[in-house]
Structure 1
Amino acid sequence: MSELLEKCTLAKDAGYKMVSVSTVTKDNALEAIANALVERADEIIAANNIDIENAKKNGTRQAMIDRLTLTKERIDGIAEGVRQVKALADPIGEVIKMWKRPNGLTIGQKRVPMGVIAIIYEARPNVTVDAAVLCLKTSNACILRGGSEAINSNKAVMKIMQDAAYGVGIPEGTLNIIEDTSRETATQLMRMNGYVDLLIPRGGKGLIRSVVENATVPVVETAAGNCHVYVDADADIDMAVKIVLNAKVQRPSVCNAAETLLIDKKIADKFIPVMFKALKEKNVEIRADQNSKAIFADVNDVTDEDYYTEYNDYIMAVKVVDGIDEAIEHINKYNTKHSEAIVTNNYEHSQKFLNEVDAAAVYVNASTRFTDGFEFGFGAEIGISTQKMHARGPMGLEALTSIKYIIYGDGQIRE
């Protein structure tokens, strides 16, 4: 039996058992996992160092190495995320609503687990923890398949979580990681009908496209993040500079970092010199249109392809637009429906932007960097869905549940 089939079989069996595991047992497991991650941080960092050295030998970009790196501080943050998940209400078993029919039947909707959730993701070992604990809290079994870049980190983290969770009563087989990181195994996982109830990809455009095109199991699409900040004519310049800088450079390698800056032409003369100087001080390469270059010449030319690009790096595309309508049109053409922001003191414009921009998260006077399960109060997230079915935006606990109808009768039969 292949590793994939073996772990899918274990997960399927554990998924049936997890339905009966109490909230207390699940929360005890989450506390045990959080404690173990902190206590065994040295093991995780030792494994992570191997991945980092391999990444450097392979010429991996520094921004991507940053996504891969685990420190004691980051592990403490991951553990805190686990505890936040523990503190959240357990959605499983919740009766959402009930109603009575004229024939006397009482019909209700009840939250239930998906069953087995598979996640295919790239070089971010924190995803291993986020995905596992969210699945555990929602009584789902999980099958995780990370990239080769983080395999040593992922294996170490998973072993620690398994030891902690199984030690307090979680069924063995609930938490699984596929150690074979070959493309063939990933493709097989996408087609494990009968074992996998939901597949969630997390990563770049190539991974997302591969899953959408090859999967035969149900998929939630979590697209790349080509995010924009639009500085409106009625923006506060100081606020706008702070928001753009945060959205671009606070952590440029992540999907909620801003990639394109749109500037209303009415404010361009005042805003561009201040903004471009601030970006250059942070070593951001600016790729700008001719209207921008007419005001601040010391930048590179932008191409149409740049406006489609998720850089994950210290690069930003810029365009001067003729008002909010052109800004919205540009965003809806080039974005990946992830996160978009407007900086403005004009209430009418803020509402127009909120209503007309097609994205999972739309901000007024705040950085796109907040699109995150932790920041939204979910404790952690299993991905940021950019589709419109089932779940959209940061996917917390409820996004990992389904419903079943429960019907109470007293002998009714259908005529």
Structure 2
Amino acid sequence: MKLLSSEIKNKVLESMVKIIDRERHNIIKANKKDLDAFNREDQALFDRLVVNEAKVDGMIKAIEEVRVQNDPVGNVISDLTLDSGLKITNKTAPFGTILIIYESRPDVTIEAAVLAFKANNKILLKGGKEAINSNLILEQCWHEALVENGLSKDWIKLLHLKREETQEFLRNPSEPLDLIVPRGGERLIKFVKDHASCAVLISGRGNNFLYVAQDANWEKTLKVILNAKTDKISGCNALDKVLINKNIPNYEAKLKELQHVLRRANVNILVDENIGNILSSENKIQEEDTWYEEFLALKIVLAEVSSLDEAVEKINTYSGGHSAAILTEDKNKAAQFMEQVDSAAVYHNASTRFTDGGQMGVGAELAISTDKLHHRGPLGLKQLVTNKYYVFGDGHVRV
């Protein structure tokens, strides 16, 4: 693959900022066509589909953030000269071609592509049919910026494939694919994993848990739970399950206060058998599948546990490995929880809503990876490269 200079990549991004700003009215107008045709029964998907002035501003901000970051390609990881005189240098290198498959969110067409492009990758975008008008105009913006700077439109391309065609493309791609990143729900991720013939980086389900320890500060607890659940219900970092230690002082009164706070925020509450004996007006969990479910809605589970160990076991059994939090004033207890919970991000006395590239100092992100290879957590610019060894000899042979 041809390596582009940092200068030319940054010029493309400078052009994109101007073009997106100039076309903002047309982008929002195209998005309205998608919104008008969308069935609003899936509120979370609808929220992700919306492009307004704030979303356009967010696209521009993402491009500018990536533009000012250092080029991640060609950086020396290690540089060794062996006793034989053989010189071995390990450098960062592009993946090659990255396919990004995503549902609903047109801003991914900008925010994901800008990261992959700055990391010198060719990008194939497969958006959902519900966002077709939005994605088409954003692709036009990319192509204008590329051509304006003397580059081929092929660097960033929107795939126009139906489900069956996408399935066949994954199995037998018409061009080399080096990495696939699915952005969406479990059905999409499973579809890609079942059919892909190359590496897949999983941006997994949320289904995030929060454990309230016996010594938790209750004022902090209420504030964190409310934020994590209601700040953005369509976010993969939103809270779904709350495990409460039954030995909390004034247990019943605090449960009823939490119930009041959540109801006031229009959150639908499900409870386990034990908490159901106290909050008798709430619906009880009917099947185990609920524990595995990412809600993406104003819905939450409240359940009772007797210890930190029980909470950790439950989280590691059911969570999506995305984010988990503990509310406690005991730093040792927090450390134990954070070390033992198997999630990409673990929190002490803080909302899970911070699992985000911008909030974590990574900048714009391609996804939140719940895989352990090659990277876990926010997938930013520095993580969109692989590596390559450069070996320099002078007629060296191995004996």
TM-score (norm 2): 0.95
Change (3 A) 1:378 1:29: farther
The separation in 2 between residues aligned to 1:138 and 1:192, in whole angstroms, is 25
- Deviation digits for residues 81-102 of structure 1 (CA, Å, limit 9, x no counterpart): 1111112111101011111212
Contact 2:181/2:201 (8 A) holds in 1: yes
Amino acid corresponding to residue 300 of structure 2 in structure 1 = M
* 3-state SS of paired residue (2:171): coil
The separation in 1 between residues aligned to 2:42 and 2:103, in whole angstroms, is 14
Give ranges in structure 2 of 5+ residues lacking alignment.
Answer: none
Q: Which residue of 2 aligns with 1:157?
A: 138
* 3-state SS of paired residue (2:154): coil
The separation in 2 between residues aligned to 1:107 and 1:358, in whole angstroms, is 36
Contact 1:82/1:379 (8 A) holds in 2: no
The separation in 2 between residues aligned to 1:414 and 1:184, in whole angstroms, is 50
TM-score (norm 1): 0.92
- Superposition deviation, residue 148 in structure 1: 0.9
**RMSD of equivalent CA atoms:** 1.5
Runs of 4+ in 1 over 3 A off after TM superposition: none
- Superposition deviation, residue 298 in structure 1: 2.6
Matched, 1:290 2:273: yes
The worse-fitting range, judged by mean Cα deviation, of 298-307 and 241-250 is 298-307
- Deviation digits for residues 24-60 of structure 1 (CA, Å, limit 9, x no counterpart): 11112112212322221111111111111111xx343
The separation in 1 between residues aligned to 2:138 and 2:298, in whole angstroms, is 30
Please point out which of 19, 24, 29 is paired with 1:36.
Answer: 19
The separation in 1 between residues aligned to 2:126 and 2:284, in whole angstroms, is 39
Write the mapping of 1:334-349 to structure 2, written as runs, cut at 5 A: 334-349=318-333
Matched, 1:355 2:342: no
* 3-state SS of paired residue (1:77): helix
Contact 1:190/1:199 (8 A) holds in 2: no
Q: Quick one: percent identity of the two aligned structures?
A: 38
* 3-state SS of paired residue (1:25): helix
* 3-state SS of paired residue (2:108): helix
Contact 2:40/2:46 (8 A) holds in 1: no
Amino acid corresponding to residue 247 of structure 1 in structure 2 = A
The separation in 1 between residues aligned to 2:88 and 2:163, in whole angstroms, is 45
Please point out which of 319, 336, 339 is paired with 2:303.
Answer: 319
Amino acid corresponding to residue 325 of structure 1 in structure 2 = D
Count of residue pairs the alignment pairs up: 395
The separation in 2 between residues aligned to 1:321 and 1:23, in whole angstroms, is 53
- Deviation digits for residues 295-345 of structure 1 (CA, Å, limit 9, x no counterpart): 333321123222111111011111111111111011000011111111111
Write the mapping of 1:95-106 to structure 2, written as runs, cut at 5 A: 95-106=76-87
The separation in 1 between residues aligned to 2:176 and 2:389, in whole angstroms, is 23
The separation in 1 between residues aligned to 2:147 and 2:367, in whole angstroms, is 25
Q: Which residue of 2 aligns with 1:48?
A: 31
Contact 1:340/1:363 (8 A) holds in 2: yes
Please point out which of 278, 281, 296 is paired with 2:264.
Answer: 281
- Superposition deviation, residue 208 in structure 1: 0.6
The worse-fitting range, judged by mean Cα deviation, of 258-267 and 26-35 is 26-35
